[in-house]
Amino acid sequence: MSKVVVFGAGGKAGRAVIQEAISRGHEVTAVVRDPAKYDDLAGERVQLVAGDVTNVHSVAAVAAGHDIAISAVYDMASAPEPFFVGAAHALLESLPAAGVTRALIIGLVSNLEFAPGQRIMDGPEFPEGFLEFSKGHAAGLDVFRSATTDLDWLVVTPPMVLDEGPRTGTYRVGGDQLLTKEDGTSHLSYADLAIALLDEAETPKNHKTRISVAD
């Protein structure tokens, strides 16, 4: 049994991660900005606390005493680049100081490659409306990649479609390239993403890198 602190605990991915973690017997600290909005989250093995993933003091305070941190955050109201860069810096600075050794961060499909060296977000048909958000996520990934840290971090990147489909218990793991099926589709459920995250939490296989996951 481990103690897992989950940032963005009230979101779709955060909730799936909590379900998967408690089903495996772990204890979870669910971090949300406003606990009053998420009182359904607290439970027998889930402690609900207030925290902000972009704030070094807040991350240090809520993470103390945990083994593993999982970040499943996204803030529609913030400018993406300062948000994801700020979160990356806060996690990198505060988690090791708080005694957390392993951090799993959910990434974004658009900075995966559709061909060697060619990111989806740089392709000619990439929608303009998603560019700023994609650049923000990519900048956060760059912060992890350029960090000199003892923290055993891993960015886990979902495929093109991430949805609330069933928990199948199966997923594939790739590297920087988008994983697709023979028909070109690229899909995973939040529940199966949570399995991939908890598998990496319990039995770390990939270290200080980015992986992609898909069904």
Ligand X SMILES: NC(=O)c1ccc[n+]([C@@H]2O[C@H](COP(=O)([O-])OP(=O)(O)OC[C@H]3O[C@@H](n4cnc5c(N)ncnc54)[C@H](OP(=O)(O)O)[C@@H]3O)[C@@H](O)[C@H]2O)c1
User: Which residues sit at the interface with ligand X, rule CB under 6 A?
Assistant: 7-8, 10-14, 31-33, 37, 52-54, 72-75, 106, 108-109, 158, 162
Residue 208 Cβ, how far from ligand X at the closest point, in Å?
19
Q: Which is nearer to ligand X, 150 or 200 (CB)?
A: 200
Q: Which is nearer to ligand X, 12 or 167 (CB)?
A: 12
Residue whose C-beta lies closest to ligand X: 11
User: Using CA atoms, how far apart are residues 144 and 85, in angstroms rounded to an integer?
Assistant: 9
Q: Which is nearer to ligand X, 25 or 184 (CB)?
A: 184
Exposed, middle or buried by CB within 10 Å (0-12, 13-18, 19+), for 203?
exposed
Residue 72 Cβ, how far from ligand X at the closest point, in Å?
4
Q: Which is nearer to ligand X, 1 or 131 (CB)?
A: 131
Residue 114 Cβ, how far from ligand X at the closest point, in Å?
14
User: Using CA atoms, how far apart are residues 5 and 91, in angstroms rounded to an integer?
Assistant: 12
CB contact at 8 A, 45 and 26: yes
User: Using CA atoms, how far apart are residues 214 and 200, in angstroms rounded to an integer?
Assistant: 15
Q: What are phi and psi of 187, to 5 degrees?
A: -145, 155
Residue 30 Cβ, how far from ligand X at the closest point, in Å?
10
